[in-house]
A and B are shown apart, each in its own frame.
Chain A
Amino acid sequence: MYNIKARGVLIEGNKRYHDITRDVTNPLLSKTTPTWWWIAAFISSAMLVWGIWGFYNTIVVGTGTWGLNNSVSWGWAIINFVWWIGIGHAGTAFSIFLLVLHQKWRTSINRAAEAMTIFAVMAAGMFPLIHMGRIWDGFFVFPYPNTRGPLWDNFNSPLFWDVMAISTYLTASFLFWYVGMMPDFASIRERTVSKIKKRIYGILSFGWLGSARGWLRFESAALLMGGLTAPLVVSVHSIVAMDFAAGVVPGWHSTIFPPFFVVGAIFSGFAMVLTMMIIVRKVYKYEEYVTQRHLDAIARVLTFVSLIMGVAYISEIFVAWYSDSPYEMFVFFKNRAVGEYSFEFWAMIIFNAIVPQLFWFKKIRKNITIVFIISILINIGMWYERFVIVITSLSKTWLPSTWHGYSPTITEIAIYVGTIGFFVFGILLFLRFLPMMASSELKGILKETSIVTENTENHE
């Protein structure tokens, strides 16, 4: 049971049930859209437009518009794909793992984190698409019945399972997220005065009435979906890791990769949640829901995960040495540590394994500015991790005659920036039109985790 005295309240400000409903739905019902929203939407959609240009350029002119070459055939696109997929782990990790672990503090964050998952996975999914040399033949990856005789998918290829895992994960996360929002849609439907909104939210709420039977089924559906989705959190990034681990490339071929990638994903996902929630609680004045304590909890998780990351890095280096393979040793001791891309390597180590250790200090955990900066650094560090894995390994593989460097082109940068624009724009739409906190869940924990002084509780 959650001990308020020992751990403090989860929802501050002496909220009543009605306050929660009001606080959650008011931003959606308000007729005026705040100026910051317009500015942010403008910037992010401009980024998105640039990204669309990048897509266009790639599809019309060719993959040659990227900085790839015969030796380094995967570049920014794959880095960004893995990075986004990692970020896309936050929502499910929050909802499922913390649910399983009875962590009540997740309630004010999980909805937003799930939304983040959806947009991040969608952003991630764009990369394998645009990455294909012949995007118009992309449907070949699906095992549909065809007339091409023996040409069928290769079930040995991790890339095939990648497609399967990501599409499953996207579908499951979306359903989980959507079903969770249904009661809140109903609340908005009831509270709104606009007829159009009533109609839209009415449809979205699937006729939710809030009856006991409804709640019963809602609960069991959430539980079932949670149970089914939980393995996906592990499987998706494990399979992404297999893309590398199944390769013979020194620096890729490592059995540690699947758990290492999953942990890394949770790491970057939590960091992204932190980044986002710090901004959102500020602009929406949700400090009472997303309290200092929430941030503190995330920071503690990050400290722990960062330690795992550190161990993973060390064990990778150890195994390289232990393997006695000159190729492996070259990758880790020459190419990464002191080579052409040593900056990226050391940035990865410092940002992921060392900087988060500052969270051991309470003072630092309490300082939101520093927490914010560290959360950004972790995101950068995790990007560098993928860079180190993809680029340093590929640029110098087995035969020195084939060694070749890599640097991205404007088209690749545009596509990356475009996906950031897409993600931010998606989140903005989410904040503007969808309930960003699960009011029913908040209400569920209100009583037991808050010091409620008044007895006049208004049941909505």
Chain B
Amino acid sequence: MEKKYWQSLEVYKEMKKNTASDKEAMPEFSIDGLDESEVKGKSSRRDFLKMMGFSVGAVALVSSCQMPVRKAIPLLNRPQELIPGVPNYYASTFYDGDEYCSILVKTRESRPIKIEGNDRSPISQRGTSARVQASVLNLYDDARLKGPVKSGKQNDWKTIDKDIKAKLETLKTDDKEVILMTSTIISPTTRKLIGDFVKSYPNVKWIQYDSLPMSAMRNANEANFGKAVIPFYHFENADVMVGFNADFLGTWLMPVTFTRQFSKGRKLKDGQTKMSRLYQFETNMSLTGSNADYRYQIKPSEEAAVLLKLYNVLAKKTGNTVFGSPSVKTDVNTAARDLLKAKGKSLVVSGTNDLQIQLIVNAINNLLGNYGNTIDLSTPINLKQGQESEMMQAMSSIQSGKAGGILFYNVNPVYDCVHKDNLVKALKKLPLKVSFAATMDETAQLCDYVCPDNNYLESWNDAEPVQGFYSFAQPTIRPIFDTRQFQDSLLSWLGAEQSFTDYLEKNWEKSLFPKQKDFTSFNKFWFKCKQDGVYSFAAKDGPQPSYKGVRLKAGKPMENTLELALYEKISMGTGKYANNPWLQEMPDPVTTATWDNYVTISPAFAKMQGLEQEDVVKINGKLVLPVLIQPGQAEGTIGIAIGYGRNHAGKVGDGVGKSVYGLMNVTNGTKNLLGTVVAMKKTSNTYPLALTQTHHVMEGRPIVRETVLGSFIKNPAAGNEEHEKFLKSEDFSLYPEPKFEAFQWGLSIDLNSCTGCSNCLISCQAENNVAVVGKDQVKRGRIMHWLRMDRYYSEMDDNPEVFHMPVMCQQCDNAPCENVCPVAATTHSDEGLNQMAYNRCIGTRYCMNNCPYKVRRFNWYEYVNNNSFDYNMNSELGKLVLNPDVTVRQRGVVEKCTFCVQRIQEKKLEAKADNRELRDGEILTACQQSCPADAIQFGNLLDKKSAVSKSNDTGRMYHLLESLHTLPSTSYLTKVRNKEA
């Protein structure tokens, strides 16, 4: 039937009358919300035109606009502290069971987007680590549970609480043990709460479980000093440090704190000529080893013997007891000589979890009089309280049927326990299994109930990482999902009415507030604590406990065996962050590898075995991993990183790498990363590894300039002769010299302070919305990081020196990228910034070719809302982490470091609003702000008194590739090694 269109409503009515049943004659345009009577009512032609216009407009809008319309609704009642566009900072605490850091959380429009260090904390100071930086992304992890889970299905809290309470009661009446397995808990209030919980359920047995325990050190201190503690270290007070397999700058105990201390002792500011010296004896090339002045390669089985040899040399010279020790080749005399010279100002540490070794370390430190100077037993560190024996007891009580239930908090033993097979078997028998995991991890999979804990950014908490020092955590966002803080779960099972927030406050009011003298009103005190995020009780400089010597012995080193040295990667740690794409894609500062773990072997060993990079080997006939040739790996050893091979981490982390927890060395009841004897066999397969750097030596180019302390004292410009040459060369350019009036932003990087920890990479990524591209793209050389950590070896040999160099856009005043862009998308600002207009860029990539530093990054694909790049930017939740001040770049445009121009602008506006001059040090770039080594200075180069100008005003200053006359605004300070020339 032919379609008829009505011209006016009169006609329409007429038509309707005639063909009342004929629905096809209905007009195609209509308005929702207008009922028929209204249409039928008195409608004029004007109404018709209105409707017509609206319909056509609506159709055009719906059909033609690609951009979906998003409605922004202003707040009807705006909370006082919330101003759109203005960030709020909250002091809080990061503690994940392994690492502690006091932090400031930046929130925008009520969502946390960035983490900075809290400079009021005397422990972590302004520094953070890469993991701390990346932890904000865990808040927006798609893998997070959306609510409580009962037998694999989502349920509600009421049912689950009722169930668990009933079961707990039954177990209590049956007198069956309930194991509460937690990570080390450093929160005093939580410890008290657990105490309360145990009081009302006396059958609950609380154990602390660390995937990498430090029980040997605690036990050694128990034996030597009668205190089972981990002492606090003062690396800044040590002139000579000797480390044994302790990566204290990367992963060991408190890397942020130790990096800050270490760099303090190595700063050569203001004419200072004193610098500490670091000896490192280690198996794998660790970040600490790469920063050592002298590095010795030892096999794990040699460590005790080498330490004892060192002890004996020292003891002989000081007239102390000498113990018999097996002979080892490693030379310890140089270290011993230096240690003796720096008595009381030296420090020996070992990261090996072995009682004998820790006893020798204690003996050496005691011999050198380090207790009370560089080691403080009176303010011990509360981290790593787990004892393997507790775990073994728990295991046996589960196996014997003594236990009837288990609660897992912040632990994942099914993934990282050495005895995980036994554990899995034993768990099946238990009638009550509860996990507090935030995601369905390996352990939660096996539990009947999962009561998801809040993210730490959604929680109230406190922490006592070091005795007498407290750090507070407060929520920065309402719980995104129907989750509940672990402590609140315990409280509700206790039948308590109060929330943990109140419990925390009460606890402080009752137990800790009376101990302080600064405040008289608790409210003021509490407010101050929340605002500062930290509170220290006056340190008691008590005398160090007296040392009680024990007999020292060392096992004979093994020969002709292949020893395995497992290690923790800076990015991945123990595997908690497997689902964090930022950390997965963070290049290891030593190997520059991303997205995988692998077997590190020495070049000599590779040659002997005929192995090449990426060849796949079989370890103990089971584990299949690719090989990475690592200069500096000790002979007769291989290294593999733990923390990989998760199966239930989430979409990002599942199946990345292989889990090697099963290969941990368990002797005398202690879990040790080092020393398992393994067999390795070559296979015919290869496996691609995504390294960000494929060439490892500087080819004799003056890139990282270095000197030794002796030469530096004679001439502060030692090692920087190229700069001298450059200054003498004729300054000739066709282009007019750039002139700046008020500001010329400059950044200075002290290569002597920088340890290469790569915290700045992640900080930059979080600040600037840098996309994650995945392993395949990294392998293709398309990583997006604006700031990269270059790593060079002095040679591709078995014992190289290592250089770390952060490289970001150098903001050249004579920028090669600027004059080649055909559309002027990249130009120079009148403040010396090389700026990018993303909207103008057409993607010829000419600038990338012409950038000598290769710091420009191209958006090869659309990295947002693209299922091929299923990381945080492909999920509504994950995108909440984006910084609204920084544009998210489209496919096809070039991007790069901007010196955090948004931060510059923010502070400039603040100063303008206050009608004052901008202060030096007010603007902090993202990389600078959280640098634990304080290696980066940023400021106005025109101001001769600014920190950056002062930092540049030494003979050590040079510009990267300065012979090119690009006139960078980024400068570097030479690296000075404290060693003989």
Contacts and interface: CB of A to CB of B under 8 A. Distances in A.
Given A71-B854, A163-B822, A326-B701, A62 B845 contact: no
Highest count of chain A CB atoms <10 Å: which of B856, B892, B893: B892
A403 B693 CA distance: 7
A74 B849 contact: yes
A246 interface: yes
16 contacts: A64-B860, A68-B858, A72-B781, A73-B845, A133-B893, A135-B892, A140-B823, A140-B842, A151-B840, A154-B824, A162-B822, A247-B849, A398-B853, A401-B693, A401-B805, A403-B695
Given A69-B781, A153-B822, A404-B694, A159 B857 contact: no
Contacts of B850: 247-249
Interface stretch (B150-158, B279-287, B813-821): B813-821
A134 B790 contact: no
Contacts of A151: 823-824, 837, 840
Given A67-B780, A400-B696, A400-B698, 5 more contacts: A61-B861, A243-B846, A326-B700, A398-B701, A401-B790
Contacts of A162: 822
B860 A157 contact: no
B551 to A, nearest CB: 50
B289 interface: no
A335 B327 CA distance: 48
A157 B781 contact: no
B101 interface: no
A154 B843 contact: no
B854 A402 contact: yes
Contacts of B842: 132-135, 137-138, 140-141
Interface string B673-705: 000000000000000000001111111110100
A73 B849 CA distance: 6
B962 to A, nearest CB: 11
Interface string A375-414: 0000000000000000000101111111111000000000
B891 interface: yes
Contacts of B717: none
Contacts of B293: none
Given A62-B891, A63-B858, A159-B820, A134 B699 contact: no
Given A133-B845, A137-B842, A152-B824, A400 B695 contact: yes
Contacts of B699: 326, 330, 400
Nearest to B843: A133
Interface in B777-833: 777, 780-783, 788, 790-792, 805, 807, 816, 819-824
A300 B697 CA distance: 48
A246 B735 CA distance: 13
B964 interface: yes
B300 to A, nearest CB: 31
B846 A159 contact: yes
Given A133-B843, A248-B850, A248-B852, A399 B782 contact: no
B929 to A, nearest CB: 25
Chain B: interface residue count, which band? Answer: 35 or more
Interface string B875-914: 0000000000000001111100000000000000000000
A148 B823 CA distance: 12
Nearest to A246: B820
Highest count of chain B CB atoms <10 Å: which of A61, A68, A154, A327: A154
Contact of B781 (A71, A163, A249): A71
Contacts of A137: 842
A243 B845 CA distance: 12
A458 interface: no
Contacts of A141: 822-823, 842
Contacts of A326: 699-701
A131 interface: yes
B848 to A, nearest CB: 4
A154 B819 contact: yes
A154 B816 contact: no
B766 to A, nearest CB: 21
Interface in B756-791: 777, 780-783, 788, 790-791
Interface in B737-753: none
Contacts of B843: 63, 132-134
Contacts of B697: 400
B841 interface: yes
Interface string B291-332: 000000000000000000000000000000000000000000
Interface string A443-455: 0000000000000
Contacts of B777: 64
A162 B790 CA distance: 35
B821 A154 contact: yes
B822 A248 contact: no
A417 B698 CA distance: 39
B954 to A, nearest CB: 24
Nearest to A398: B852
B396 interface: no
A157 B821 contact: yes
Given A157-B821, A248-B816, A402-B854, A74 B845 contact: yes
A441 B854 CA distance: 55
Contacts of B845: 68, 73-74, 131, 133
B835 interface: no
Contact of B823 (A64, A73, A153): A153
B824 A69 contact: no
Nearest to B692: A401
B822 A401 contact: no
A156 interface: yes
A64 B891 CA distance: 9
A399 B844 contact: no
A183 interface: no
A69 B780 contact: yes
B841 A133 contact: yes
A61 B891 CA distance: 9
